[in-house]
Structure 1
Amino acid sequence: MTPADPARRRLLLAGACLAAWPLAASAARAPQRVRDSRALMGTRLDVAAQGPDAEALQRAIDAAFARMTALSALMSHYAPASQVSAIGLAAGLQPVEVAPELMQVLHMARDVARRTDGAFDPTVGALGLWHFDAPQSSIPTASEIRRRISSVDWRHLVLDERRQTAYLTERGMRLDLGGIAKLSILQSGLDTLQAHGVGTALVNGGGDVVACSQRGDAPWRVGIRDPRAPQRLLATLEVRSGFVASSGDYERFFVQDGRRWHHVLDPRTGRPTEGVRGITLVADSLEAVNGLGTAGMVLGARAGRELLRRGEGVEALIASADGGLWMTDRLRARLVPVAG
């Protein structure tokens, strides 16, 4: 493969990010590259893998999608038969036994809620009167929000590790793990690929990316959309392994009466957040970023910056509603501007 080969610049587009195929260090190895895309978790998931055998790569990708589909069914608050829905139905009545994978996510959700003083709150599912997908988009009334918001309080989520149960202590409470489950599910997809012997892979879904690359392979090139103009690419970023997580008001929204109503809800008001258009976080570990994008949008640009400055190993970008763009020095040094 010569440097001028256009395959070197081929991009995968999904959500708020796009990613290029990594290049092998040696053309003699002639690696196979397989990509597959499927709808899951209300978005499009792209899985890309590189290795010596295309058929083996496709089998690994199929296994990764099967794993992510199973976990999505387990954790979706939209699916009536999910364990998350069961926890809501049993709220105020009894604990519900949950799978270890869900227990792990619930512990992470409660920890992020504690660290952010409730700016991230997994019990915002009680505010399910909002609908952001056409043609059923709708805005609840102020009185409906007041009735439901009293059921939003992460401190009433009780986890029993010994019995492996989760319990919402008050009737009317509901879970919504949308701000924290997806990245964990994508990580499980990547883990599945690696368990099948894939050393270089990327999983990309709705603005969240998790990637790995083995020695000798070039890093993935991930594109960062400008939250102020989501149709435009702001910059690219090389990622060998780790996470790129994006939250924004441009993924699921509708416009009514001249205002954009988006799906990131402020648990303090019961209404969509204001002041921040989008946040992108980059880190090596899941725990360093998961849930913090949602919390930063709730807190607003100034308090969000302070939250992310306290995070260890996190590089961040925040686009505020007034047009401002802030980023950490390390991320600024890594970004490659896009011509035009």
Structure 2
Amino acid sequence: MPKKIVTFWTFFCVLFVAAQKPYKQNLMLMGSSFDITVVAKDSVEGEGYIQLAASEIERIERLISSWDKNSQTSLINKNAGILPVKVDKELFQLIERSLKISKLTDGAFDISYASMDKIWKFDGSMTEMPSVNKIKESVSKVGYKNIILNTKESSVFLTQKGMKIGFGAIGKGYAADKAKELLIKEGARSGIVNASGDMNTWGDQPNGEPWKVAITNPLDKKKAFALLPIANSAVVTSGNYEKFVKFNGKRYSHIIDPRTGYPSSGIISVTVFAPKSELADALATSVFVMGKEVGLNRINQLPNIECVIVDENGDLSTSDNIKIDKL
């Protein structure tokens, strides 16, 4: 190719990229705040992409919501201990992946957590801890091993009456993944879907630099420990610095261990980097429940997964393969 044509083509590409701008909207979806950012040539294209993402997230909510009495998830819960329920392949596979994460985390992650009695209150109304017997009873119907899948029939059966499943610890991450997947398919070259801390990115910023995420100091949210680049991957941060109770000087998180009924303690913030938000979402919750040492050990055994933990003393710990240059 002649040099002049190469030069013109380079100039055209640079001009094209420079013409792209980020367009962002904040939307209330799935009962949470979603920030959707796309890089597009103009506001019409940008807003069109954002509406596509919003419609996809609303579709996911209709599929997995346990509040919607007409959803397949509600039908599974309604028939607990009675009979298996045939579901769409998409929901079946989400439940199947959830059970694999439960096995991976020794039950620290468990979608049957929805069966727990709500005996812990994090609105300031609790004055004493629940009794040992009450806590034990609260998780009597929880147990991922009692979720029976039939691949041939694409059916889900909860073996105990009163059992329920819910996707509060994985649903927003899954929705972010599906919105990203759709936008890429529709031609959006770059963007971020941020589902209340469940963030998934693709492409680069208009200036060619990667998207970046701040590791915030949960004890002082105006400050950040570090700013890290994320390229075509997901990052999820879970924290208990706003929802917790204290008894006898010990801080208890709103994130409850589904195996014991006791709230997690010792950690105030977990950030997980993973290829998909769904996995990062589930693992962030799991690390809270498992604790710092066990959580980091488990993360270090997983390929392409990294983790940053801030404990209740404000100390920062990381998995083996992530290096942070503090700000």
TM-score, L = length of structure 1: 0.82
Count how many residue pairs are aligned between Structure 1 and Structure 2. 313
1:210 aligns with one of 160, 179, 200:
200
| 1:32 Cα deviation after fit | 2.7
Mapped to 2, the partners of 1:33 and 1:191 lie a distance apart of 18
1:73 aligns with one of 48, 53, 62:
62
Amino acid of the residue matched to residue 20 of structure 2?
P
Residues 117-141 of structure 1, C-alpha deviations (whole Å, 9 max, x = no match): 1111111111141576759989994
Partner of 1:172: 162
| 1:290 Cα deviation after fit | 4.5
Amino acid of the residue matched to residue 312 of structure 1?
P
Mapped to 2, the partners of 1:164 and 1:153 lie a distance apart of 20
Amino acid of the residue matched to residue 225 of structure 1?
T
1:195 aligns with 2:168: no
1:82 aligns with 2:71: yes
Moved more, 131-140 or 166-175: 131-140
| 1:261 Cα deviation after fit | 5.0
Greater C-alpha radius of gyration:
2
Give yes or no for contact 2:204–2:211 (8 Å, CA) kept in 1.
no
Residues 27-80 of structure 1, C-alpha deviations (whole Å, 9 max, x = no match): 873213210111123321100000213212211110111110221232123333
TM-score, L = length of structure 2: 0.85
1:154 aligns with 2:144: yes
SS in structure 2 opposite 1:78? Answer: coil
Give yes or no for contact 2:199–2:277 (8 Å, CA) kept in 1.
no
Partner of 1:227: 218
Unmatched runs of 5 consecutive residues or more in structure 2: 1-12
Amino acid of the residue matched to residue 181 of structure 2?
D
The correspondence of residues 1-340 of structure 1 with structure 2, limited to 5 A, is 29-130=18-119, 141-142=130-131, 143-213=133-203, 217-250=208-241, 252-253=243-244, 261-285=252-276, 289-332=280-323, 335-338=324-327
Mapped to 2, the partners of 1:266 and 1:119 lie a distance apart of 6
Distance 1:28 1:39, change over 3 A: closer
Distance 1:176 1:164, change over 3 A: same
Amino acid of the residue matched to residue 233 of structure 2?
G
SS in structure 2 opposite 1:123? Answer: helix
Mapped to 2, the partners of 1:259 and 1:79 lie a distance apart of 37
Moved more, 70-79 or 198-207: 70-79
Give yes or no for contact 1:33–1:54 (8 Å, CA) kept in 2.
no
Distance 1:202 1:174, change over 3 A: same
SS in structure 2 opposite 1:159? Answer: strand
Mapped to 1, the partners of 2:276 and 2:170 lie a distance apart of 14
Structure with the higher fraction of residues in strand conformation: 1
Amino acid of the residue matched to residue 292 of structure 1?
L
| 1:324 Cα deviation after fit | 2.7
SS in structure 2 opposite 1:330? Answer: coil
Give yes or no for contact 2:173–2:278 (8 Å, CA) kept in 1.
no
Give yes or no for contact 2:200–2:233 (8 Å, CA) kept in 1.
yes
SS in structure 1 opposite 2:224? Answer: strand
Mapped to 2, the partners of 1:316 and 1:324 lie a distance apart of 14
The share of aligned pairs that are identical, in percent, is 26
Distance 1:134 1:80, change over 3 A: farther
Mapped to 2, the partners of 1:285 and 1:96 lie a distance apart of 28
Residues 224-264 of structure 1, C-alpha deviations (whole Å, 9 max, x = no match): 22234445322211112101012221364567897655431
Partner of 1:16: none
| 1:25 Cα deviation after fit | 6.3
Amino acid of the residue matched to residue 210 of structure 1?
N
Give yes or no for contact 1:211–1:243 (8 Å, CA) kept in 2.
yes
Unmatched runs of 5 consecutive residues or more in structure 1: 1-23
